[in-house]
């Protein structure tokens, strides 16, 4: 089985050919430019790879409902050249193989569940904190979709009393992404997160925001494992701080074996930042299976 995977990000497109066991045979990346510049390169690369199917994990918002007439269409994205671009249809028109599309964070969640640290667990939450906040959720073995897909980066949280900055989200006054994503850290402190490793207050505030969000997810989604990725989470000191704050905020309300083992409940991603492309490969496997 030769499966294509496409991780369509806002800054780069990662393409690979692999198999259902997660072995990657070939992998390349190209910059994300306009559709007219980017899509022909993707089609050209895959056209001679003899793939049986293609899975796509894409930046959002994107229509992820297979029953929708606009399935696979990118919606009202800030990446203006891509607004209402029919990504799936354009790729299907040229490559003519079964395809399946989901969000990039759902693909990452799927990658960890099939090939990574969440293997064998049927209810998982994957969150990335970088230039934005994205959340992928799988419950009972199924990726969560509804009228669209989770936009859990925009839940409202309480501002830390020592935070002198402002929420930078253009839509909300006090949302998680606007207070905790990389650009918010840089706006608040005048330096990028990786240059602030020794500033304790930076990570006190950041861990508070992450913990607030995770407590809300725990209480509403009840995942059996939480996986955190993205550039901000490269600051490893965050993990023990977040675990401690989550435990304190829950205040003994829930009594589960997962929450008693917090070190194995809230964990970093485990696939060397390949969770998204491996999740795309799994989407390709599913597309092939559903087409049979």
Q: What is the CATH number of the domain that holds 192?
A: 3.30.420.40
**Integer CA distances (angstroms), 288 to 1, 90, 187, 282, 291, in order:** 9, 18, 45, 10, 5
d(C-alpha 159, C-alpha 164), whole Å? 9
- pLDDT at residue 73 tops 90: yes
**Is the domain of 121 the same as that of 80?**
no
- pLDDT at residue 27 tops 90: yes
Q: Tell me the pTM.
A: 0.95
Q: Can you read off the two tokens belonging to residue 270?
A: 């485990």
Omega of the bond leading into 32 within 30 degrees of 0 (cis): no
**Is the domain of 125 the same as that of 239?**
yes
- pLDDT at residue 147 tops 90: no
H helices present in 34-103, as ranges:
35-47, 87-95
- Domain of residue 171: give its range: 117-268
**Is the domain of 46 the same as that of 162?**
no
**Is the domain of 157 the same as that of 261?**
yes
Answer with the residue of higher pLDDT: 131 or 216.
216
Q: Could you give the 3-state DSSP secondary structure of residue 24?
A: strand
Q: Can you read off the two tokens belonging to residue 191?
A: 């330096």
Kindly indicate the confidence band of residue 135, based on its pLDDT and cuts at 50, 70 and 90.
very high
d(C-alpha 215, C-alpha 203), whole Å? 18
What domain count does the chain have?
Answer: 2
- pLDDT at residue 75 tops 90: yes
Nearest to 144 by CA among 116, 129, 125: 125
β-pairing, 53-58 vs 124-129, is unpaired
**Is the domain of 36 the same as that of 100?**
yes
């Amino acid at each position: 089985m030769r499966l294509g995977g496409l991780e369509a990000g806002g800054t780069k497109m990662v393409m690979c050919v692999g198999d259902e066991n997660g072995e990657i045979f070939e992998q390349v990346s190209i910059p994300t430019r306009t559709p007219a510049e980017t899509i022909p390169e993707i089609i050209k690369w895959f056209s001679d790879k003899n793939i049986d199917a293609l899975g796509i994990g894409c930046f959002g918002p994107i229509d992820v409902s297979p029953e929708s007439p606009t399935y696979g269409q990118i919606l009202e994205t800030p990446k203006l050249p891509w607004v209402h671009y029919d990504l799936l249809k354009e790729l299907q028109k040229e490559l003519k193989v079964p395809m399946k599309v989901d969000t990039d964070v759902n693909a990452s969640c799927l990658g960890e569940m099939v090939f990574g640290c969440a293997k064998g667990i049927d209810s998982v939450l994957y969150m990335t904190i970088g230039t934005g906040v994205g959340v992928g959720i799988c419950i009972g073995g199924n990726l969560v979709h509804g009228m669209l897909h989770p936009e859990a980066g925009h839940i409202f949280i309480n501002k830390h009393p020592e935070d002198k900055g402002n929420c930078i989200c253009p839509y909300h006054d006090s949302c998680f992404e606007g207070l905790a994503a990389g650009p918010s850290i840089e706006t608040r402190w005048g330096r990028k997160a990786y240059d602030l490793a020794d500033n304790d207050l930076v990570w006190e505030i950041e861990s508070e925001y992450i913990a607030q969000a995770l407590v809300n997810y725990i209480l509403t989604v009840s995942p059996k494992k939480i996986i955190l990725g993205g550039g901000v989470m490269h600051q490893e000191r965050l993990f023990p701080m977040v675990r401690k704050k989550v435990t304190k905020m829950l205040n003994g309300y829930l009594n589960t074996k997962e929450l008693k083992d917090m070190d194995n409940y809230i964990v970093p991603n485990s696939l060397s930042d390949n969770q998204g492309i491996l999740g795309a490969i799994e989407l390709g496997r599913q597309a092939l299976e559903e087409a049979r």
